[in-house]
A and B are shown apart, each in its own frame.
Chain A
Amino acid sequence: MLQQTNKPSSALLMACALAAGLLTACGTAPKTLDVSGNKATHAKNKPDVDVVIKSVSDNRVKDATLSDLGGRPMAGQEVMSWLTDSLDIRGYSLNPDASAEAGNCVVNLELRRASLTPTATSKSATIVLGARNLKTGEYHLLRGAKSSLNWMNGNGESNAALSDALDDSLSQIGKACE
């Protein structure tokens, strides 16, 4: 005779664990901005331009949020430390004492926009840097963007999209040195 037990089956337990995991991922907890989206390959993407960054400043719209993707806000307060860390990972040197007369291309960088916005089933990450060449005084907007499918409003994919958008922006830094 088959014996009935009240113990839940392992399949049910696994299903519950998976559902809990998914719910956690889809929750409303704020996302965090970190450098986890910066892959090792990003450093290899650095354009062959001998550029020195004298300063990095935040000149975004005041109080701007970074993202509200999936109803999970991503605050913008940490964006400057994220940017400087990301520049460092990519091999860009930050030298506050750099002189424009030394022959190098020296620029002041400012962050003009940083956002991650949803459109239908996609997400669009944008990073806009403003680069001023200290020798010529010319100012260039370096707009980087990355559109991709929005899978789960996840922290990792959000960070990766912003990191890709930063790569796209920095790939144009040569414009500031022409």
Chain B
Amino acid sequence: MKKLLLATVVGSAVLISACASPRPYNRIDANARPLIKSMDSVVMVKQSEIGSDIVVSNATGAMGGGLIPALIDAGVNSSRTKKAEEAIGPIRDKLIDYDFGAEVEKQLNTAFSGTTVSGLNNVKLMRAEDPKYRENTVKASGADAVMFIDTTYKISANFDAVLATANVRVFPVSADLNAYKEKPDEDDKVVEPTDNIYRNTFMASAPLDLVSDMETNASDAANLPVDKYTMALDRAAKNLAEKIAADLMTDDDVTADK
């Protein structure tokens, strides 16, 4: 009987641990906040042009897996990409003098302007990085922490809105912050994703006021004035920056599972 009970407990523990998934965010611990007096901030915008999007084919999932459905997916996605890329050309031409990276940098600096954390409102814009850049930046930083913001922007698959995303991570530099890593470990001199003391993902969208199907929208979108796009992208960048600034100031929810 005791053996049966033990097996049930062990089995349940295994099942529960298998079901537990990491939270989609990790906010700054309230106790860590006073230790962060300075932060280096980098925003990475690698795109030189607005991206396109597609509704991704999922024949593999619908047909229960297999090589043939996977090949079908690859073919359909390739065809949809080609179509979306052709349709987005005229919009990219309109935006040839627009720099989304510079706009995000400006909006982030504005959103962080009231901060008391030194360096946070001096965001550095980067458009490329070598594979060791982040690790080297953290190791070389003289601040208490380093923040990396990865940003993308694109036209929605239906050509009815612009979408901007930001993936934000803050890594500790000061050894005092090591205890607040998402997955605390010894200071092993290696910067791993779970070494973050903050991570979250944000999305902002701004509508283009087109309400038809993809093909009609794409055709109409090509005739929209450039201001329509620049204003929508500016708005998305501002929205993104404000969300990031507000969330960075929010303490971690101690009742949520880590």
Interface residues of A (CB under 8 A from B): 28, 30, 60-65, 68, 71, 73, 75-76, 112-115, 117, 119-122, 124, 126, 128, 130, 141, 143, 145, 147-149
With an 8 A cutoff between CB atoms, is B51 at the interface?
Answer: yes
Q: Contact: B92 with A143, CB < 8 Å?
A: yes
Question: Known: A73-B128, A73-B129, A143-B92. Contact between A126 and B49, CB under 8 A?
Answer: yes
Q: Contact: B101 with A61, CB < 8 Å?
A: yes
> Which bracket fits the contact residues of B?
20 to 34
Q: Contact: B99 with A61, CB < 8 Å?
A: yes
Q: Contact: A113 with B46, CB < 8 Å?
A: no
Q: Contact: B130 with A30, CB < 8 Å?
A: yes
15 contacts between A and B (CB under 8 A): A28-B131, A30-B131, A61-B99, A61-B127, A65-B48, A65-B128, A113-B92, A113-B96, A117-B47, A119-B52, A121-B73, A121-B77, A124-B81, A126-B92, A147-B78
Taking CB as reference atom, which chain A residue is nearest B128? A65
Of residues 47 to 80 in B, which have CB atoms within 8 Å of A's CB atoms? 47-49, 51-54, 56, 73-74, 77-78
Interface hit among B82-90, B161-169, B220-228, B240-248: B82-90
Question: Known: A61-B99, A73-B128. Contact between A141 and B93, CB under 8 A?
Answer: yes
User: Which of B47, B48, B78, B101 is the one whose CB lies under 8 Å from A148?
Assistant: B78
Question: Known: A119-B54, A121-B77. Contact between A147 and B82, CB under 8 A?
Answer: yes
**Which residue of A61, A73, A143, A149 has the most chain B CB atoms within 10 A of its CB atom?**
A61
Question: Known: A64-B127, A73-B129, A149-B74. Contact between A117 and B51, CB under 8 A?
Answer: yes
B256 to chain A minimum Cβ distance, whole angstroms, is 31
Q: Complex Cα distance A148/B56, Å? A: 16
Q: Contact: B81 with A122, CB < 8 Å?
A: yes
Q: Contact: A60 with B48, CB < 8 Å?
A: yes
Q: Contact: A128 with B130, CB < 8 Å?
A: no
Contacts of A112 in B (CB 8 A): 96
Q: Contact: A124 with B128, CB < 8 Å?
A: no
Contacts of B49 in A (CB 8 A): 113, 115, 126
Q: Contact: A63 with B78, CB < 8 Å?
A: no
Q: Complex Cα distance A15/B128, Å? A: 36
Q: Complex Cα distance A54/B92, Å? A: 26
Q: Complex Cα distance A147/B83, Å? A: 9
A132 to chain B minimum Cβ distance, whole angstroms, is 14
A66 to chain B minimum Cβ distance, whole angstroms, is 8
B9 to chain A minimum Cβ distance, whole angstroms, is 42
Q: Complex Cα distance A115/B46, Å? A: 10
Question: Known: A61-B101, A119-B54, A141-B96. Contact between A73 and B130, CB under 8 A?
Answer: yes
The 4 closest A-B pairs by CB, nearest first: A65-B128, A120-B77, A122-B81, A147-B82
